[in-house]
Structure 1
Amino acid sequence: MGGRLIEPAEAGRDDVMLSWEGRQVVAVRLPRLSDSLDHLLADQERRHGMPLTQLDRKAKQSVVRTLEERGAFRMRRGVETVAAALGVSRFTIYNYLNYRDEQRAGQGGEGR
């Protein structure tokens, strides 16, 4: 998700310190959540082998499902960011999410 290793002496209070046998050996600097969404979108683009805006509707729905499972829509402006990346409206993203909920309900699964 885009974290990077840094020297313990360079670690800030938000970095995760890793220790081995009581000695601090490395720190991990995690990306901001908005950067994480960019990484998720870039990963989807690599997986599909083309810009997300060029995907057909079914593939875009699949991307939305994957992003939902990974928490993309819990982030501030997540829906807007994904909509822009897919070249669709926010309304379309909500339709894709609602369609998924309807599918789950029809299969006896729980909705969101």
Structure 2
Amino acid sequence: MTDQPQHPLATALKPLLDAVGATPVPLAEARPEDVVLEWEGERALAVRLPHLGNALDRLLAEMTRQFDGRPLADLERAEKQRVVALLEERGAFTVRHGVETVATALGVSRFTVYNYLNRQDGSTGTTSK
């Protein structure tokens, strides 16, 4: 953005935009695919959403941060299973080549990632009451 004062909406949304990899854009530079937000009935800010291809990289970086910055391939098996579960919750496997990318990051095979996913599905579908 330029050196103009930031709109209060941009300031309030900054943590969210950073977390999802979106970029605030001045209204004059907004493209048709950008999301224009209103504040008190007036156009206030445009938001440029990230490309899906970058989304998985951001999710993997977030997993690394959540696990104390350790490389995902160095995690214990239970931790890797937790990473797969968290990534599944966030939709990581809807991205093309998601399983392959996650498997590479975890230092396991695609088959192992599928096993973690199947194990998760099996454990969440049963209750012992």
Partner of 1:32: 51
TM-score by length of 1: 0.89
Equivalent residue letter for 1:24 = R
- Out of 28, 42, 59, the residue aligned to residue 9 of structure 1 is 28
Equivalent residues in 2 for 1:60-79, closer than 5 Å:
60-79=80-99
**How many Å separate the matches in 2 of 1:27 and 1:39?**
21
> Is the aligned partner of 1:84 residue 2:96?
no
3-state SS in 2 of match to 1:107: coil
Partner of 2:121: 101
Partner of 1:47: 66
**How many Å separate the matches in 2 of 1:73 and 1:32?**
15
**How many Å separate the matches in 1 of 2:21 and 2:71?**
20
**How many Å separate the matches in 2 of 1:18 and 1:73?**
29
Count of matched residue positions in the alignment of Structure 1 and Structure 2: 108
**How many Å separate the matches in 1 of 2:40 and 2:127?**
50
Equivalent residue letter for 1:48 = F
Instruction: Report which of the two structures shows the higher radius of gyration computed on alpha carbons.
Output: 2
Alignment root-mean-square deviation, CA: 1.3
Shift of 1:22: 3.7
